[in-house]
Structure 1
Amino acid sequence: MSSAKSLATKRQEILKNWFQVTVDSYPPDTARFLKSQKDPFANPVGQTTHQSLEALLDALISGAGRDTMAAALDPILRIRAVQTFTPSKATSFIFLLKQILRKHLAEDGRESGETMDGLDRQIDEMAMTAFDIYVACREKIYELKATESRNQFFGSLKRAGLIVETEADGPGL
């Protein structure tokens, strides 16, 4: 049995383990909630995290490219970008997959250097893509904060009568 088939047969178990270690990166009360609450409306973060991890695992098993991985990574990283995670902590869940895969492949006697090298390369590519997405999300957040601060500042000056807006080119001129 190839490593892809071996991973496919243990897909649910791998996914369960990966979800567990990913939500364990949250504070204990939050992690407990994310694990226990199954209602997607009451727990959208847990639901999105699970769906993203599932799509990433499927992409890894099928050998999908960077675009497929980026589409699966985007939702989970958008969530983690607005939370208090550092960049390394926000993307660390990807590297935890290496340990989980090694464990499951070793159980099947499939952990060869060549197999793990290929998986490691794919996971490293996934991590680099994740970091790019996370940084882009954080840049957007800082841009939005700067725009809001600028608008508040100029709004305050305008209300205080310290600045007056004038039309540079009036209508019909």
Structure 2
Amino acid sequence: MLAQENHRPPSLLFKTSRKHFFITMLFNTLLLTGIMAMVGNAQKPTKNLNFIYSRGNFATVSGGTGNEFGHDTGLTITDSEGKELYSESYPGGASPCANPNMELKIKSSCWEGEFTFNCAASAFGKIEGCDVVPNGGDSWPGKVDSSTEFIGIAISQTDVCGGGFPTGGECGEGATFDIASHNP
């Protein structure tokens, strides 16, 4: 009986194998697509927020009335449309981005557990990088934008670092944010 199956004309063997091949490939493709869709939905956050670290300094050279100095700093968290949810100049009682390894751990009604907010600055206070790490997960890095301007007898330096991060929950008006720890 086995010998009879092997004696089919080659064209018939090819058509049967080709049909079987395409059905198998179609099934595998649909199966793989379904699995990827399930994995994609499992990892897709329900809400994204934005974080913005800012730092600015202004100083003049002595004039008739003396030197003038100014400084501002802060951490802001907004929703995906830019609406401010949290903004603090000195979260945890310290400048949020003043040395090479600033770390804030924040608890919020927007997510489960503590999220770690990191900001790195040079010895001169220029922001060099930032990121958010949700509950020990993947790092969500921000992008730095920096400018230094000399205006006659004055200098102004502005640094901003910001990006987006997933929360896995809903967040809106009335959300709470608590500094769990600050590691300057």
TM bin (shorter chain): under 0.3
TM-score by structure 1 length? Answer: 0.25
TM-score by structure 2 length? Answer: 0.24
Structure with the largest fraction of strand: 2
